[in-house]
């Protein structure tokens, strides 16, 4: 394709992409950036476990989500909202007064590298745990909420 033809093709493509991005901003999903009240937390085995969980887990698995600027821009806002909604549904450290069906899987998800999500880490360097921190979080989650083959601790 010749250079003038490329330019004729590229300009409408760029303008179309910009128009689509502008229209995406009016979609209401991804704008419900609320943090419901904390109604109960687990009886953490130590303050260190809570701090590690706060660094690596709380943005999606608690009602203490930090909503960065890009969480207000579609279509990224849609992904962030979906991840937070799903994370809170599966395990919410801020609603320990309600059943947490997947709590006993938390330590294993960290152990297997499933959590935190890989897509979360580039914009949240504080969630990158050293091997020692990762092991401490796994041990702390097992002691706090249980793990495969153990019963989660009773809610206090």
Rounded distance between C-alpha atoms, residue 105 and residue 30, angstroms = 27
Residue 47's pLDDT is 98
- Specify the number of domains making up the chain: 1
Q: What is the pLDDT of residues 55-113, one digit of tens each?
A: 999 999 999 999 999 888 888 888 999 999 999 999 999 999 999 989 999 999 999 99
Question: How large a percentage of the chain has pLDDT more than 90?
Answer: 65
Residue 33's pLDDT is 84
34 lies in a domain?
yes
15 lies in a domain?
no
- pLDDT at residue 3 greater than cutoff 80: no
72 lies in a domain?
yes
Are 88 and 63 a contacting pair, CB within 8 Å?
A: yes
Domain that holds residue 105: 30-145
62 lies in a domain?
yes
Rounded distance between C-alpha atoms, residue 42 and residue 87, angstroms = 16
C-alpha neighbours within 13 Å on the C-beta side of residue 27: 16
82 lies in a domain?
yes
How sure is the predictor about 26, in pLDDT bands with cuts at 50, 70 and 90?
A: low
CA distances 47 to 29, 30, 52, 127, Å, are 35, 32, 9, 17
pTM for the model stands at 0.78
14 lies in a domain?
no
- pLDDT at residue 135 greater than cutoff 80: yes
Are 124 and 59 a contacting pair, CB within 8 Å?
A: yes
155 lies in a domain?
no
7 lies in a domain?
no
Q: Is the dihedral of CA 96, 98, 103, 106 positive or negative?
A: negative
Burial 62-71 (b: 16+ CB within 10 A, else e): bbebeeeeeb
């Amino acid at each position: 394709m010749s250079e003038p033809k490329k330019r004729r093709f590229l300009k409408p493509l760029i303008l179309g992409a910009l128009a689509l991005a502008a229209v995406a901003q009016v979609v209401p999903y991804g704008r419900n950036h609320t943090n419901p009240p904390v109604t109960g937390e687990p009886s953490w085995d130590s303050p260190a476990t809570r701090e590690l969980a706060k660094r690596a887990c709380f943005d999606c698995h608690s009602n203490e989500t930090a909503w960065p600027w890009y969480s207000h821009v579609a279509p990224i806002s849609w992904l962030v909202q979906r991840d937070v909604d799903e994370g809170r549904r599966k395990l919410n450290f801020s609603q320990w007064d309600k059943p947490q069906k997947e709590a006993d899987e938390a330590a294993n998800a960290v152990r297997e590298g499933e959590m935190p999500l890989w897509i979360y880490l580039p914009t949240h360097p504080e969630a990158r745990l050293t091997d020692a921190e990762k092991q401490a979080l796994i041990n702390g989650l097992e002691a706090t909420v249980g793990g495969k083959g153990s019963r989660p601790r009773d809610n206090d």
